[in-house]
Amino acid sequence: MLYRSTRGHPDRKRFCEILLEGLAPDGGLYLPEEYPQVDAATLAAWRATYATRGYAALAFEVLSRYIDDIPAEDLRSLCDRTYTREVFGTDAIVPLRPLEEGIWLEALSNGPTLAFKDMAMQLLGNLFEYELARRGAQLNILGATSGDTGSAAEYAMKGKAGIRVFMTSPEGRMSPFQQAQMFSLQDDNIHNLAIAGVFDDCQDIVKAVSNDLAFKQRYKIGTVNSINWARLVAQVVYYFAGYFQATTHDDQKVGFSVPSGNFGNVCAGHVARMMGLPIDTLAVATNENDVLDEFFRTGTYRARGSADTFETSSPSMDISKASNFERFVFDLLARDGARVRQLFADDLAAHGRFDLRDDDAFPEAAARYGFVSGRSTHDDRLATIRDTWERFGTMIDTHTADGLKVARAHAKPGVPMLVLETALPVKFAGTIVEALGREPERPAAFVGIEALPKRVRSLPADADAVKRYIAEHCE
Ligand X SMILES: *Cc1c(COP(=O)(O)O)cnc(C)c1O
Q: How far is the CB of 52 from ligand X (least distance, A)?
A: 30
Q: How far apart are the first and last CA of the chain?
A: 37
| Of the candidates 283, 254, 296, 15, the residue with the CA atom closest to the CA atom of residue 128 | 15
Binding status of residue 112 toward ligand X by CB under 6 A:
no
Q: What is the 3-state secondary structure (H, E, C) of 286-351?
A: ECCCCHHHHHHHHCEEECCCHHHCCCCCCHHHCCCCCCCHHHHHHHHCCCCHHHHHHHHHHHHHHH
Binding status of residue 316 toward ligand X by CB under 6 A:
yes
* Binding to ligand X, residues 199-258 (CB under 6 A): 226
Q: How far is the CB of 375 from ligand X (least distance, A)?
A: 14
**E-assigned strand segments in 340-411:** 353-355, 371-375
Element housing 233 (H / E): helix 229-246
Mark 139-178 with x for binding to ligand X (rule: CB under 6 A) and - for no binding.
---------x------------------------------
What is the Cα–Cα distance from 129 to 126, expressed in whole angstroms?
5
| Of the candidates 291, 367, 372, the residue with the CA atom closest to the CA atom of residue 332 | 367
Query: Could you say which of 82, 189, 422, 431 contacts ligand X (CB under 6 A)?
Result: 422
Query: Could you say which of 5, 265, 313, 384 contacts ligand X (CB under 6 A)?
Result: 265
CB atoms within 10 A of CB 104: 21
Please confirm, yes or no, whether 405 is among the known catalytic residues: no
Stretch that binds ligand X, among 209-217, 259-267, 270-278, 325-333 (CB under 6 A): 259-267
* Binding to ligand X, residues 375-414 (CB under 6 A): 399
Binding status of residue 115 toward ligand X by CB under 6 A:
yes
Question: Is the Cβ of residue 70 or residue 432 nearer to ligand X in the bound state?
Answer: 432
Beta partners for 100? 103
Q: How far is CA 194 from CA 76, 157, 224, 254, in A?
A: 37, 19, 17, 41
Q: How far is the CB of 412 from ligand X (least distance, A)?
A: 23
Binding status of residue 318 toward ligand X by CB under 6 A:
no
Looking only at the bridges linking them, the beta strands covering 3-5 and 30-32 are antiparallel
Question: Is the Cβ of residue 395 or residue 423 nearer to ligand X in the bound state?
Answer: 423
Question: Is the Cβ of residue 259 or residue 370 nearer to ligand X in the bound state?
Answer: 259
Q: How far is the CB of 169 from ligand X (least distance, A)?
A: 13
Binding status of residue 432 toward ligand X by CB under 6 A:
no
Query: Could you say which of 140, 262, 312, 384 contacts ligand X (CB under 6 A)?
Result: 262
Catalytic residue among 13, 117, 321, 427: 117
Are the C-beta atoms of residues 381 and 375 closer than 8 Å to each other?
no
Three-state secondary-structure class, residue 167: strand
Across 36-52, b (16+ Cβ under 10 Å) vs e yields: eebeeebbeebbebbee
Question: Is the Cβ of residue 243 or residue 263 nearer to ligand X in the bound state?
Answer: 263
Residues that bind ligand X in the complex, under the rule CB under 6 A: 115, 117, 148, 226, 259-265, 316-317, 399, 422-423
Catalytic (active-site) positions: 117
